[in-house]
Structure formats: C-alpha cells, structure tokens
Structure 1
Amino acid sequence: MPSSPLISLRRAAWPILLALVFLLPAAGRAQGNPPRIVESTAESRFPDAVVFRLTAEADAPIEKIWLYYAMQGDISTTRQAVAFTPSRQVSAEYTWDTSRITVPPSSPVLFYWEVRDAEGNLTRSEETVFRYDDSRFEWQELRQDDLVVRWYEGDAAFGQSLFETARQALNRMEQESGRPLDFPVYLVVYPNREDFASWHSYVEEWVGGQAFPPLGVTVEIIAPGDPTDWVQDVIPHEIAHLFFYQAVHGATADWPRWLDEGVAQYYEPGDHARDLALVSAAAKEGNLIPLEILSGSFGSDTGKVYLAYAESLSAVLYMRETWDEASFAAFVAALREGAHLRDAMQTAFGVTWEEFVAGWLTWLGTPATPAPPPTPTPTYVYPTAPSWYTPTPLGETAGLAASPSPEPSSTPRPAVTATPSPEETVPPGGGVTIGAALLFWGCILCGAGLSMLFGAGILFWRWRIRHR
C-alpha cells in the first residue's frame, strides 16, 4: 500500500529541519552569563605603535577575542582576531604597527572588543576614544571647550600666546559661518623640524604646518622667538582647514581645493597685497588658471602653485567683500546640506557660477565677459600628501622661514589619514570589516536555504511521479 502524501512530506521535511538547526548561529543556543570585561587599555609607543590590551573572564572558557579599531573619520573599521590561550580568565594583547605610515600626534583612535565563550555567549565592550599622543616628550597643555593647545618647549606665556591666536581665529570663524565646531580641535606644536619630521613617512623641507581635518588635528613648527607674523598666519590658516571641514562636511558636500585654500588664507591677518598683484597681472595678461581647474591638485610647477594659491585667495576675498556674513553663512549651510557649489552660490548669493566668475574678473580689473574655460580634466590626487612631495631623510633639518615655500601649509584636502599596515589591511590581512563578514554569512545562509528548497521540490516531484 503506497504511503500517504502527508507521511512522505514529513519524511522529506526532516533533512530540511535538521539543516536549519545546524545553521542556527551558536549565539542562539548560548546559555549562562556573558563574558565580563575586566580591563581594557591602549598604550602609546609613538610613532611606532599602539598596544591594545584586554583582560576578561567568563563562566565558560573564552574561545574568541576580536579587536575593532579605526581612526576618527575612517569609513570602515578594522576587525582583528587576537591570539591568546583559551581559559576562563584571559589576557590578550595586540600591537598596531604605525612605524611605516604617517599618523599625527594626538590622533583620536576609536576601539572596542568582542569576547565569546565556549557556550556562544558574546560580550562587546563600550567604544573607547584613545588619543595617540607623542609620549617621547613632556607636553604642556591649555584646554578650553573645543580647543586644545599642546607644546613642550617654551614657557607658559609662549603657550598662552599660541592659545590666544588659535582662540581668536576660531571665534571669528564661528561667528562668520554661523555654526560651532562639531568636535574639538587640537593644535600640537613642535619647536624644530627634526622632531616634526620624525613621525612622518615623508615630509618636504619647506613644510611649516599641516592640518588633518577628519582627525581635528593640526601640527605646526613654531619655536619660542619665531617671527610673530609667521605665528599669526600659520595658526589661523591651519585652524581654518579644520573648522571648515567640519562646517561643510557631508556625504555630498562640494568643497573644491581653491575654496578650501582661499578661505584658509582669508583668515591669515597678514598683508596679501603681493598675492593680489600677482593675480591682477595674470588676469590682464590672460594667464589666469580657470577656477574649475583648481578643484583638485594644484600641480607641481612652483610658479603655477603660487598663482593657484593667489587666485584662490582673491576669489574668496571678492566673495567676502561682495556679500555679507549672513550670505556667507547661508553659503556654508547650503554646502553642508549637500548642495553643489553652483547651487549653493545661487541660493546664498543670488548669482550663477558664470556671474560669480565674471564679477570676480571685473573686481580684478579685467573684462567681465571672459571666454568659456576649457572643460577641466584635473588629475585628482588622493594620497597622503600632494603629488609634488618627495621623502626627506629624517636626519636632515632646515631652518624655519617665516614664509615657507611654496605654501604656508602642506596638507590640502583631502587630509592626511592613517592607512593600516599591510598585515592589518582588509582585504587581504588578518582582519575583516564587519560589512564583509555579514555579507559572507548572509550569502551562506541564503545559499543553504535555496538548496533546501530545491531539494524539497525534487522530493515532492518524485513522490508525485510514484503515486500518479
């Protein structure tokens, strides 16, 4: 007597049910108390390494420990499996090698741990922000709200003068942009080029200051007794890079290079007559570089780099002299909300891009109806330094000029950011990003489910054939 369809379907379902049981995550079968984090620390061995340490305990033997870490502003987090001896009480350690990359002092490093025991219980620690300070020196510090200034050579009066210069610049930027900082900024001051160069993978001889906007850090070479005009120019310049990164930062914000550098120079209190004269002469001779071309790298030709910076400054000066603070604040707000540069100008200033350029040329003393610029085909440079950088041996030093050449700051946007060392880069390497892990297991589960459904269909079809 042939078996009933119901009995056959039950028999066919057993393999599917068993497969689903084995595919369930181990965490779903976990019982008991989760592991407990006893201690979590990070140690600076600047500039060579960060050492992360964990002590944990559990009722069942701890079998897995993962460290998750990233620099502030990174778009992904590195997941690193940490080696240790399984036990109910464990200590684990992982060293992040930074000796071959450029990580500035006082960079914020975000990290947390995951610990899993033999029963599948999982614990995740709270995320910690660790400041990767240069532990080789005895730092002095002044701190107020959203500003921190650190130096190690010079007395309290020297530090106070640095702080006041930075504070005044920030206050002015906040007032004119209509918004405060999103996170604090750090001004870190080295007194000589040798110490400054020691944490770089490369640095040009003329560099006097650098800004790392996603990190909120600017590092500068300023010694007690340096010319006042240099100090009063370089600090506001680099602070402006940090501030306006935060002011306009967004997923679609359009902040071209000429605008970034022009705004930074605008906040320098020094005399810009020489720069404006250079731009006016280039305009009259028909040698201006179209602003559209200056959206990316300024190139490597010294003369063109000087002109690019001078043009950037003059365009921002024209903008600020033509429209009031409220219009400028509206312009910044539109960019932050994701508007394209042209749309932001139309919204805040009431002019098209072509009208803005024509007005700028008239302001320079040239005809207001220039020929259309060529279609820009700049080569965008997104390494950890501009394309004209070449490594400087760390043993070499040079005196600090009041106006380093070819520019007063070395870090154009995008800013210098740390890249994980080869053994930690994902992929390949020991760590994987969370998104990649979820995608992998999602594919496995989906594939298993489809396979089981296909198998059930085959069994049902065979039963139908036998019982026709």
Structure 2
Amino acid sequence: MSRTASALALALVLVAALASGVAAAEPTFGKATVSATFLDGIKLEQRVSLPSGVHRVEAYVREGSDAHTFLADVANPGTGDHLLTYTFETPAGSIYPNTHVQLGFRVTFDDGHVVDGPPETVLYEDDRFAWATLQGDLVRVHWYQGDEAFGRRALAIGEKAVKDASDLLGVTETEPIDYFIYADTKPFYDVLGPALRENVGGIALPEIRTLFANIPPSAESESWVGIVIPHELTHLVFGTATNNPFHDPPHWLNEGLAVYLSEGYSTSARRNVERTARAGEIMPLRALVGQFPTTADRFGLAYDESVSAIDYLIRTHGQEALVTLIRSYAGGVSDDAAFSAALGVDVAGFEAGWLADLGISEPVPFGPRPAPPGPLPPDWAAAPAQTANPGASGLPAPTFRATTPGAGDVSGPVTIAVLALLAVLLAVGLLVVARRLSQGEPLLAPAVPTVPTAVDDDDADRDAAAAGGEDDRPQ
C-alpha cells in the first residue's frame, strides 16, 4: 500500500477515535451531602466535573415512594469542576415529616441525552422536639409531652386498632406504622399546613405509613382519644387493602369504615342523619366522593352519612360483601364495577337503596342554577355581542420558546468540524482509489524484489526532491 493510502487510513482511525471521544464525554459526580431543616428546606451539595456540550443542569427531587420526579433549574456553570448547590424549600404543609426524600443533579446535553447523578436520601423530620418513642408489634408511638403511661395507652389503642381492621379486611400488615402525637395545636398545624382545615384533629398518610394527631397529655383518659387513634389507623389499613395506581375508593367509604370500626353508628349520628333527611337536606353520596364540605355542620353530617351508608350496606348485603367491595379496589376497578361485583348493584343503585332506607327520595340538586337576567343599560338593546369564536375556550394560545445551547459552548462547532474533516478524507481516499484503477494500477503492490538501477546525478536529485516534497505534505 502506498504511503498516501497508509496516511489516509491513519487519519481515518484518528478521526474515528476523536469522534468517539467527543461522544463518550460524560459528567463525573463526587459524593453528595444533604442537610434538612424543618419548615425551611433541604440543601443538596455535590461536586461535579462537566464536559462540553452541556445544555441544562437541574436538581431532581423524589418524595417517599412517589414515582413522580420534581425538577428545578440550576445555573449551568459551564465546562470544568464545580460545586453544585440546590435548596428544596419545605414550608408548612409542603412535605410531611417522616418522609424519605431523594435528591440529586441531572445533566442534559445538546444532543438530548440525560445523565442523572447518584441520588442522596434524607429522612425529613420534625426536629423541634425531643421525641420519646415506644414500639409495639407494628405501631411506633412518638410523643414529646406526657409520661410513659400516656405513651403506653396510645400504643395499646393503636395496636388493637390495626389488628381489628386487618382482621376485618383480611390484610397482613408487616411494615411499621409511625404515630406522632402533638400536644400543642400550632406545631400540629405547622405539619398540616395552611391548605388543611382547622377542624382536623388527625391525619393518616398511607403512602408514608404515618399518622399525626393532636392529643394533649391532659386528655389521656378522655373517651375521644380511644376514638381518634383507631379512626386514623383504620385509614392506613384501608390504604393497604385498596392500594392501586389507578383509582381511589370514594371518600365516604373510607371515612364510613373508619367511623364504624372506631365508634360504630352512634345514636347522635343516627339522629343527625334522620333529622336532616326529614328536612330534605341530605347530601347524596356522590357529593361525598372527594373532600367533605368545609362548614362545621355539613362537615359533621358528611361523617354521619358515611357511617350510615356503611351500616345500611352491612345490614342489607352483609359484612363479607363490604370486605369484597373494599378489597376489589386493589385491582384499580371503577366504582360501578366494584359495587356491581360485590353488591349486585351499581353506585346509583346502592345510593337509591340507602335513600329509600332513610325514607326519602333522591335529593334535588341546589345548583348550579342560571342567574336571573339583570337590567340593561339605557342605550343597550340586547346582550353584548359575542367576542370569541363559538366553541373557543377563551384561553390564550400556547407559546413556544426556542431552545438554544448555553453561551460559550463549542461542542457543536467541534463536532461539525470533525464530521467535515472525515467527509473530506473519505472523498480524497475514493479519488485516489479511482485514479489508480483508471491507470491500471493494482490497489496492492505485488511483492517483488527491488532491482537496483543506475541513475545519473540529475535523476537522483529530482527523485530526492520529489520524495522530500511528499513527506512535507500535511497528513
């Protein structure tokens, strides 16, 4: 093979190696450090070495077992070694204590591929108090005011509540349940945040297997303590029995079961439902599928109606049908499918039966109702003319922002130059091959011994000059 062909082959190898090196450049992440301050934020720091071609840098956050990923932009520092810093703010109600939070940094390149740095996990805790802890078979009770007897009573109530609900629903609880008792209202509402209602005394979070309740030590012997603890822990067992990624059961079914197991269908609740039914002010169950009303009277009525519906279900269809109904939600089925399979009637049919049991017909909806027409201004003969196309949503049209590489980024031009050089070398190689073939020369020289020939001095000089010129050409 001629020296030209050899040089061409070597150049192609070098270009391929260079192109491979450019494509393979990835960020290098150091050890991350995380620190959390309750009601303030979670700070992440990590050293990283960034190559060229980085388009965007972000922090990623995942809470608990939630598969969702929160992304936040971080200033792109450019090529080189840097300390990346990000603070995930945690004001009241944004994230609950006892939640494991995973944080890390994400690097997106100009060509679209993404590299996530190794995550760091921290347990977000309410560190304002020195918590005492007692652990049973499944329940761990945490409290900061009151003696050990207070904690032991709460633990005994909690253990029994979990066992009763588990036995009823036929589920086996294996993971611990943390139960935090706040003696003071303000710290308790700091946990819940401003979005929750002020009449809430406890909350159960199946996704992190945690219960929060506001119980002062002075109420240790009061009867309502023996109600609120089983009520909230029943929600956790209900969550285990119905867990699925598609569809939550109606809220009235969840709350109705919790009331039924913690206190039953009490005389006061029964009277409230019957009195409301006679007054024609009962709320249909379809109005209690999501959040309950906010006013105190309707809020309490929602709980009473929920346990009334559970009582009717058990009296009419039996306890096994209730268990079948609840367990069916684990399959992610719709409400109508769950009710039809377990009870033989859809949701509307069950509600009609419950209302008939109360001796009333289906309530008439209060609204929404059209507003009465108002007076027109003196110079107006009709309603204002339509200002939007029929069927238009009235929403502004979306706008799109073009994505451009970061300032100072030279990876794009470098890649283009490499590809251009590769194309030129390939073209030159093809031209050389075609020329040799057209002249009848073989691509590979035959292996024959070299016969020395006599040359005069002028010919030797010309050959030396020709050889020197070839060696001086850029390769």
TM-score tier after normalising by the smaller chain length: 0.5 to 0.7
1:239 aligns with 2:233: yes
What's the counterpart of residue 316 of structure 1? Answer: 310
Is 1:217 the counterpart of 2:207 in the alignment?
no
Are 1:274 and 2:268 counterparts? yes
**C-alpha distance in 1 between matches for 2:53 and 2:24:** 14
| Structure 1 residue aligned with 2:46 | 54
**One-letter identity of the residue aligned with 1:371:** S
Compared CA separation, residues 271 and 319, structure 1 to 2 (3 A): closer
Counterpart residue identity of residue 212, structure 2: V
Structure 2 SS opposite 1:229:
coil
Counterpart pick for 1:45 among 24, 33, 37: 37
Distance 1:85 1:355 in 2: 63
SS of the residue corresponding to residue 44 of structure 1 reads: strand
Classify the secondary structure of the residue corresponding to 1:153.
coil
Aligned-residue offset at 1:209: 1.7
CA contact (8 A) 2:92 2:191 kept: no
Written as runs of structure 1 = structure 2, the 5 A alignment for 1:249-328 is 249-269=243-263, 272-328=266-322
Equivalent pair of 2:133/2:141 in contact (CA under 8 Å): yes
Match of 2:339 in 1: 345
Alignment of 1:320-399 (within 5 A): 320-353=314-347, 355-361=349-355, 364=358, 366=359, 370-374=360-364
| 1:362-408 residue CA offsets vs partner (Å, 9 max, x unmatched) | 655x3xxx534447979xxxxxxxxxxxxxxxxxxxxxxxxxxxxxx
**Whole-Å separation in 2 of the counterparts to 1:84 and 1:313:** 56
> Are the aligned partners of 1:67 and 1:79 in contact in 2 as well (CA < 8 Å)?
yes
**What amino acid does structure 1 have at the position aligned with 2:239?**
Y
Query: Which residue is 2:456 aligned to?
Result: none
Write the letter of the residue equivalent to 1:72: G
Q: 1:336 to 1:377 in 2, by over 3 A?
A: farther
Q: In the superposition, relative to structure 1, how do residues 376 and 182 fare at CA in structure 2: closer, same or farther (>3 Å)?
A: farther
1:173 is aligned to 165
Question: Normalising by structure 2, what TM-score?
Answer: 0.61
**Structure ranking higher on relative contact order (CA contacts 8 Å, 6+ apart):** 1
Of structures 1 and 2, the larger Rg is shown by 2
Structure 1 unaligned spans of 5+: 1-20, 379-426, 429-468
SS in 1 for 2:224: helix
* Aligned counterpart, 2:189: 197
Gaps of 5+ in 2: 1-14, 369-397, 400-475
- Residues 125-172 of structure 1: CA distance to partner in whole angstroms, max 9, x if unpaired? 455543210122222234567644322223333323222322222222
- Conserved? CA contact 1:292–1:376, under 8 Å: no
- Is residue 34–residue 120 contact of structure 2 (8 Å, CA) maintained in 1? no
Structure-2 change in CA distance of 1:199 and 1:253 (3 Å): closer
TM-score under structure 1 length normalisation: 0.62
**DSSP 3-state at the match of 2:88:** strand
Q: Distance in 2 between matches of 1:248 and 1:133?
A: 28
Describe the superposition over 1:57-91 as per-residue Cα deviations: whole angstroms up to 9, x where unpaired.
69x79977542103336563122344586787654
For residues 358 and 246 of structure 1, the distance between their equivalents in structure 2, rounded to whole angstroms, comes to 29
The one-letter amino acid paired with 1:242 is L
Name the CA distance, whole Å, in 1 between partners of 2:113 and 2:198. 54
User: 8 Å contact 1:148–1:185 — kept in the other structure?
Assistant: yes
Structure 2 CA distance for partners of 1:293 and 1:212, relative to 1, 3 Å: same
Aligned to 1:276, the other structure's residue is in SS state: helix
> Do 1:105 and 1:188's aligned partners in 2 also have CA atoms closer than 8 Å?
no
- Report the Cα distance in structure 2 between the residues aligned to 1:110 and 1:173, rounded to whole angstroms: 32
CA displacement at 1:116 relative to structure 2: 8.3
Maintained 8 Å contact 1:27/1:121: no
Does the 8 Å contact 1:148/1:186 carry over to 2? yes
Measure the CA separation in 1 of the matches of 2:73 and 2:351: 54
Question: Out of 72, 86, 95, which is 1:103 matched to?
Answer: 95
Provide closer, same or farther for how the CA distance between residues 57 and 29 of structure 1 changes in structure 2, counting only shifts above 3 A: closer
Report deviation, 1:274: 0.7
**How far, CA to CA, are the matches of 1:269 and 1:344 in structure 2?**
26
CA distance in 1, matches of 2:119, 2:137: 22
The two structures, once aligned, show a CA RMSD in angstroms of 4.1
Figure out how many residues of one structure are paired with residues of the other and give that number: 351
Preserved CA contact (<8 Å) 1:293 1:377: no
Evaluate the alpha carbon distance shift between residue 254 and residue 100 of structure 1 in structure 2; reply closer, same or farther with a 3 A threshold: closer
- The 2-side partners of 1:306 and 1:290 are apart by 15
Q: Confirm or deny: 8 A CA contact 1:35 1:122 kept in the other structure.
A: no
1:84–1:304 CA distance, 2 compared to 1 (3 A):
closer
Equivalent in 150, 158, 168 of residue 150 of structure 2: 158
